[in-house]
Amino acid sequence: MKNYLKIYLLLISSIFIFTSCDEDIDLVSEQNSSQRDIELITNGNSNKSSGANTMLHFSTMEIFEETIKKLEIQYEENDDAFLAQWGHLGGDDLDLKEDELNYTPQQPFIDFEKQFKGFKSLREDIETKEKKWLNNEVLDEANDPYDHFVFDEEIRTVLNTNGQVKIGKELYQMTMFGYIKVTDGDFKTLDLVLNNDIRDLDLPNVIIIGSYDGTVDNSNTTSTTTTDGTSGSTTTTGTPTHDTSCRTWINATQYYYPAYKRKIKGYQKLLGYSVTGWFNTANQIRAKTRHFKKKRRGWRCRRGPIGVKILGDATFSSSNLPNPCYEENYISKSKYRNRKRKVKVKETVSQYANIYFGTYQHKLYTEHKRSGSAYDKYFWN
C-alpha cells in the first residue's frame, strides 16, 4: 500500500506540473490589453474606512493561480538580484546599504498592488501593522499582526484586507483551513459570511470548503479550536472527521532567541483535506522561518543565516478510505539560506489527487534554525 501511494502521488504531481506549465500568464496592468483579466471592483456594502470595500476580480481561476506563482518567483528574483550586487558587504554593512537605498524585498508585491488604484491588500495591511508592532523593545507576541491565517505574502497580495477575492462569477472568503464560496457573486451574502456563522443561515448560494468552526479565523474556542500550552506559541486545530488519534488541521507559531539581539520565528501549517479549486491551499504541510534583529529600542525583520525543515511521518490516505490517517509516510523537506529574511518549504499534492494529510502525536515536526542553533516543534505535542 505504501509503495502504491508513493507512485500515485508521483504520477499526480507530474501531471499537475506539466499541465500548469503549458501557458505562462503575465501579470497585468490597467493599461495593457489584458486589463479584463484582473480588475478592481467595489463592494458597496463594506465599511469603506477599513480598506475592504474593494477587491480584485480575476477572470478565471487559472489567471488567479498563475498570478500568485509569478509573484512568488518575482519576489525571489528581486532579492537575489540585490544580493548579487551588494552581497559582498558584511551583515551590518548590508543592512545599512538597504536602508540607504530604501530597499524592500516586498517591491514586486507593491508594484502589483499599485496597478489597481484604491486597492488595499491584506499584505499591505499586515505589513503596516507589523512595522508599528515591531517598534517596541518588548513585543506582545500573542498579538503579532503577521500571524494571519493566510500563510504567504504572495497570496495576501491578491486579497483585500478581509481576505476576499472574486474569481469568475464567484466570491471567495478565505478562512483558517479553507475558504467559503458565494456561488452567485452576491456581496450581501459575502458580508453575512464574514460576520456570521454561515452554517446557521443555510443559504443555497454558499459552499464551505475545509474545516470551519463558524468563524473565518477559527476563533470559536468553544467548538473545534484548541490552544497549545507551550509558552509563547499558539496552535489552532480542526477536529478530525473520523480518527481522533490523528489531526488533519494545524496552525502554529513559535519565537526562539538563539543570539543576543537576534531572534527567529517558526511557522507551521497543515491543511489536511482536499480544498478543491485553490492549488495554493490544497493538501499542504508548510513551514517557514523568519529572522529578526533588534535595533535600538525596536525590532526589524533582517537578513540572517536561517533554515527550515519539515521532518517525520505524515499520514496519507485516499478519500475513499474510512480513516483519514490510514498510512504513514516519511517526509523530509528543507531549505537553508545564509542571508535571507525568510525561508519556507512545503509538501503538497494537487487537489485532484483525493489524498488526505494528517499526523499522529509526536510524529511530524518542523525545525527552525539560525546558524548553529536549531529548534524543533511538533505539529502535535
- With H, G, I as helix, E, B as strand and everything else as coil, classify residue 15: helix
Cell readout for 280 is 495554493
- Spatial distance between the Cα atoms of 289 and 192, rounded to a whole number of angstroms: 35
- Beta-carbon count within 10 A of 211 CB: 24
Q: Return the H-helix or E-strand segment holding 63.
A: helix 61-86
Biggest alpha carbon distance in the chain? 60
Q: Are 345 and 367 in contact (CB under 8 A)?
A: no
How long, in residues, is the chain?
381
- With H, G, I as helix, E, B as strand and everything else as coil, classify residue 68: helix
Instruction: Tell me the torsion sign for CA atoms 288, 247, 364, 361.
Output: positive
What is the structure's pLDDT at 376? 97
What pTM did the predictor assign? 0.84
- CA dihedral 108→114→116→119, nearest 10 degrees, is 100
Integer CA distances (angstroms), 339 to 29, 96, 109, in order: 32, 14, 21
327 bridge partner residues: 316
- Spatial distance between the Cα atoms of 148 and 126, rounded to a whole number of angstroms: 8
Q: Which residues contact 201 (CB under 8 A, 6 or more apart)?
A: 192
Tens place of pLDDT per residue across the chain (381 aa) = 444 445 444 444 444 444 444 434 444 443 343 457 999 999 866 554 455 689 999 999 999 999 999 999 999 999 999 999 999 998 889 999 999 999 999 999 999 999 999 999 999 999 999 999 999 999 999 999 999 999 999 999 999 999 999 999 999 999 998 899 999 999 999 999 999 999 999 899 999 988 889 999 998 865 333 322 222 333 444 444 445 688 888 999 999 999 999 999 999 999 876 555 555 555 689 999 999 999 888 999 999 999 999 999 998 876 655 566 778 889 999 999 999 999 999 988 766 666 778 899 999 999 999 999 999 999 998
Q: Return the H-helix or E-strand segment holding 270.
A: strand 262-271
Q: Are 193 and 186 in contact (CB under 8 A)?
A: no
What is the structure's pLDDT at 68? 94
Q: Are 314 and 357 in contact (CB under 8 A)?
A: yes
Phi, psi for 175 (deg, rounded to 5): -130, 175
- Spatial distance between the Cα atoms of 212 and 352, rounded to a whole number of angstroms: 21
Q: Which residue has the cell 551588494?
A: 86
- With H, G, I as helix, E, B as strand and everything else as coil, classify residue 67: helix
- With H, G, I as helix, E, B as strand and everything else as coil, classify residue 314: strand
Nearest Cα neighbor of 362 from 346, 334, 381, 349 is 381
Nearest Cα neighbor of 315 from 358, 361, 349 is 358
Nearest Cα neighbor of 223 from 200, 243, 192 is 200
